[in-house]
Structure 1
Amino acid sequence: MNIHVTPMDEHDDAFDIERAREALRALKPNAQQQKQARFADLLPEIKAAVERRVPVKQILATLETLGLKLSPAGFKKLYEDVSGDSSGDDSSSSSVTI
């Protein structure tokens, strides 16, 4: 569904609230935002796998077969961004080593 929104004339006082709602509902996050949202949804399982010391390479391969392709650096960045674990402290049981 493609909705073309034309700017309102600056002298036009009519505001079509329904048209605005429809246009906002049609907006989609970009690919990176979608990837981050999917990663965030899977974070509990990803963290559990990391805590079980499953190799990141194996986690990446599994995610890729399911449609979520990440580079090792991309995985680490998303993991840190989404989990809030960017301390770099290796004492944390859920820190990721690539």
Structure 2
Amino acid sequence: MFSGLISIAVAFWFYRTANAKSAPALQWAGVGFITYLLPNLIWTFTLTKPLVKSLHTQNAGFSATLVSHSGILVGVTVAVFVWYAVLDKLKTDPRREE
């Protein structure tokens, strides 16, 4: 659930930035959603699940919780990188009406 809320927040952040730069805002909201969610899911299902299973067998509940939420950090990191590398560098349209 927490990851879903963050994905919506990232999409809204991309939407607002694209709208301010007169870029297609809905498309950029989708890009933001995907750039957060895709790395998060890949990280979670390829690396985190096996590690969490081994931690649960060792009764390391707190460590398992931290590891299971590490996908959120990966997703946010990739989204911030894409925002900085692409969206932040877009030029603002001078003809845009406020």
TM-score (norm 2): 0.29
Larger gyration radius, structure 1 or structure 2: 1
Normalization by structure 1: what TM-score? Answer: 0.29
Higher relative contact order (CA 8 A, sep 6+): 2
